[in-house]
Amino acid sequence: MLTQADFLTRFPEFTPAAPSGLVQSKLDEALGALSPSVYGHQLDTAHGYLAAHLLAVSPLGKNARLEDDPANGDTPYGRRYKQIRKELAPRGFVT
């Protein structure tokens, strides 16, 4: 599980862009969507990318987006999270 400090070290683009409470809220939301038994050693990585995606698509996170694709809500963070999830599919995870 990533702490807010760990997250901001890995994703410094969110330091000036999102209020501290919002970062923690999205970290909590992302963690609630992840199962440690499924993600195993990839849990922290998946947690970070999913939280970054949730922040980037939020109204207050728009300044931290690396790419802006409002048509489908896609972000580089969301694509990386989906890639991690897909890599775990052979271990019994339904994508």
Per-residue pLDDT tens over the stretch 17-31: 678 788 999 999 999
DSSP secondary structure string for all residues of the chain: ---HHHHHHH-GGGTTTS-HHHHHHHHHHHHHT--HHHHGGGHHHHHHHHHHHHHHHSGGGGGG-SS-BTTTTB-HHHHHHHHHHHHTGGGT---
Identify the residue with better confidence: 73 or 37: 37
Per-residue pLDDT tens over the stretch 43-89: 999 999 999 999 988 887 666 666 655 556 788 899 999 999 988 86
